[in-house]
Amino acid sequence: MKLVRYNTPISSVGRVADFDDWFRNPLAGLPSLSRFFNFGDAIDTSASLATDIHEDKDHYYARFEVPGVKKEDVKIELNDRMLTVSAEKKEKRGDEESSFSCTRTISVPDGVKSDGIAAKLEDGVLTVTLPKSEERKPKNIQVA
Q: Same domain for 36 and 87?
A: no
Q: Same domain for 26 and 75?
A: no
Segment 25-59, tens digit of pLDDT: 655 555 544 444 444 444 343 467 788 888 888 89
Q: Same domain for 92 and 117?
A: yes
Closest among 131, 122, 28 to 78, alpha carbons compared: 131
Name the residue range of residue 32's domain.
11-40
Q: Are strands 59-65 and 74-79 parallel, antiparallel or unpaired?
A: unpaired
User: What is the total count of domains within the chain?
Assistant: 2
For 82, list phi and psi in degrees, rounded to 5. Answer: -120, 120
Q: Same domain for 28 and 57?
A: no
Q: Same domain for 22 and 61?
A: no
Is position 55 within any domain?
A: yes
- pTM of the predicted protein model: 0.61
> Which segments of the chain have a pLDDT < 70?
1-47
Q: Which helix (H) or strand (E) holds 37?
A: helix 33-37
